[in-house]
Amino acid sequence: MSGAGVTKEQLRMLNAICGDLARQINWHGCRLDKDDWRHLLSGTAAGWRAVPTINQGDGQFGIVLLGSSSLKLTKQQAQGAITQGLVIGDDPSSQGLKAQPVRWSDAVLLGLGHNPNDFRDVA
């Protein structure tokens, strides 16, 4: 990986954010898993392109969005993907989603420099 490439720390943070989003956010009627979120954020950060799917003999074509693997992001693109994930989680309505803000996992809170204990509900 080149010096300009995504760092292991960025990948860990992105994966943690995607896991939290997958558990708590419904993306415009679609339930995305952790990998789907990572693809969506990485593809957005790196720039994607839409291409027709392969016709499998039924005459039906769909659309596939081709972006980039999170492993191929630059540090700047990774930061953009992380930031966008946090924005979506903190304010789902910014993307037209009807959802509560995400309750971030300890991994995300630690990655942001917070003590997770500061966010625990007091019984």
Averaged confidence pLDDT in the chain: 90
Per-residue pLDDT tens digits for 3-28: 489 999 999 999 999 999 999 999 99
Residues in the chain: 123
- So what's the pLDDT on residue 69? 82
pLDDT of residue 1: 39
d(Cα 48, Cα 50) in Å, to the nearest integer?
A: 7
Confidence of residue 116 (pLDDT cuts 50, 70, 90): very high
pTM recorded for the entire structure: 0.83
